[in-house]
Amino acid sequence: MAQGFSLKDQLFNADKVSFLSKLFVEAEPAFNAPAFRTQVMSRLPELELKERMAWIAECLQQALPDDLPTVAPVILRALPPALDPSRSDDDFGDFIFAPLGEWVAGIGLGHVGVSLDVLEELTQRFSMEWAIRPFLNHAPDRVLERMQDWCTHDSYHVRRLVSEGTRPRLPWGQGIGLGLTDPLPLLDRLHGDPTRYVTRSVANHLNDITKKDPGLVLGRLDKWRAEGRQTTAELEWMTSHALRGLVKAGHPEAMKMLGFNPDTDVAVTIDLKSKARIGGALEFSVGLSGEGEQLVLVDYIIHFQRPGGKTSAKVHKLKQATLKGGKLNLDKRHKLKGDATTFKLVPGAHRLEVQVNGNIRAGVDFELLA
C-alpha cells in the first residue's frame, strides 16, 4: 500500500458526495444539492470512516426531513442501476451508498416493512449488512421471515445479505440478540447457493459460530455433506474456510473433518538460519519425517513479547502437503516489520513452534534484536 494512502478519503470525498447529491437532485428537484455538499464537507475531513457514513446519513436526513414512508420513494428513484447481475463474486458495490442504509436504520424502525423493501434495493448497490442489524434487534421475527424469501431472490447480493447480516461477529456490525441457531435454517438453504459470494458468507458465518460452539458447526457441515445439495468441491472449500479458526487452534475434530490425522506420527526439526532483527526477517527451515506419504497441514506459531512482559502467540500457515518418501523440507522467511501500525514488535526473548495437524511438534527459542 502506498505511503499516505487513506481508505476513508478514497471511499468518502468531495467527488463521491457530489455524485450522491446529483442522484438525489434527479430524484427530487427540491433537494438542495449545494447546501448538502457544503454541510457534508464542513466536517467530513475530520471524521474517521464509520463516522463519515453516519455524518452523511445525518445530512441526508436534514436535507429530506420527512418520515421513511415519505422519503422511501425518493431514495429508490435516486438509486443507479443494480450491480452487474452477470458477476458472481467480489462485487461489494460503492461505499457512498452505505450512508443510505444508516439513514433508513435511523428513521425506519417504526416502519419495518417499508425499511426492508428499501434495504432489499439498496443492498443491490452496496451491501446493507450493517443496516439490517438494528432491525434484527427491533423486530427479529419479521426480519427472519422476510429473509426466508430473500434466500431465493434473483440477486445474489440479496441472498448474501441473509447470511452476512445475521453473522454473530460481523466486523463493524452492531451486536444482535439472535441465538446461534436462529439463522441456521437460513444457512441450510443458502449453503447450496451457486455463487461464491454467498457461500463465502455462509462459511464466514460458520467460522463466527465456531468461537462459541464448534460442535454445532461440525454437525451442520456433516448434515450438508449428507444432503449433497452443494457440489463436492465447493462444500470442501466452504468447510476449509469455515473451520479455519479451529484449524489454527488445533481442534482435533476439525482436523479430522478436513482429512488430517491429529495423531499422525511425524517428527519435526527446526533450523534457524540467521539472527532475527526488527525490520529484518526470521528465516528458518522445517524438516518433517514419518512413515509413508502422510497428508500434513503445517503451521508455525511465533510467541511475541508484548509490553509489560506478557506474550502473544500468532499462528501462521506454512504448508499443506504430502510427505514424499516419508520426508518434507520447508523454508520460510517471516518478515519482522518495524513500522507496522497494528502490531508493534518488542525486542527480547521469543519462541517459534511448529504445529502439524493441530499438534505442536517442535519449538525453539530465539532472541529478537532491535
**Residue 317: what residue type?**
K
User: How high does pLDDT run on average in the chain?
Assistant: 95
pLDDT value at 1 more than 50 = no
pLDDT value at 134 more than 80 = yes
pLDDT value at 136 more than 80 = yes
- Residue 272 has phi, psi (to 5 degrees) of -75, 130
pLDDT value at 288 more than 70 = yes
DSSP state of 305: E
Alpha carbon distance 213, 191 (integer Å) = 19
pLDDT band at 2 (very low <50, low <70, confident <90, very high): very low
| Cβ contacts of 57-64, under 8 Å, gap ≥ 24 | 57/99, 57/100, 57/102, 57/103, 57/106, 58/106, 60/24, 60/36, 60/99, 60/100, 60/103, 61/103, 61/106, 61/107, 63/24, 63/31, 63/32, 63/35, 63/36, 63/39, 64/24, 64/28, 64/31
pLDDT band at 151 (very low <50, low <70, confident <90, very high): very high
pLDDT in tens, 298-347: 999 999 998 888 899 999 999 999 998 899 999 999 999 987 777 889 99
Domains belonging to the chain, first-starting first, are: 66-257 (1.25.40.290), 266-369 (2.60.40.10)
Alpha carbon distance 191, 81 (integer Å) = 28
**Residue 110: what residue type?**
G
Minimum mean pLDDT range among 9-18, 57-66, 90-99, 136-145: 90-99
Report the share of the chain in percent with pLDDT over 90: 91
pLDDT in tens, 152-203: 999 999 999 999 999 999 999 999 999 999 999 999 999 999 999 999 999 9
Q: What is the pLDDT of residue 4?
A: 55
Q: What is the pLDDT of residue 88?
A: 75
The neighbour count for residue 223, using CB atoms within 10 Å, is 12
Q: What is the pLDDT of residue 6?
A: 86
Element at 368 (helix H, strand E):
strand 359-369
Length of the chain in terms of residues written = 370
Alpha carbon distance 84, 206 (integer Å) = 27
Q: Which residues, including other chains, have CB under 8 Å from residue 218's CB and lie 6 or more apart?
A: 243, 253, 254, 257
Q: What is the pLDDT of residue 320?
A: 95
Burial of 305 (0-12, 13-18, 19+ CB in 10 A): middle
pLDDT in tens, 34-82: 999 999 999 999 999 999 999 999 999 999 999 999 999 999 999 999 9
Q: What angle do CA 18, 21, 22 make, to 5 degrees?
A: 90
Q: Which residues, including other chains, have CB under 8 Å from residue 317's CB and lie 6 or more apart?
A: 299
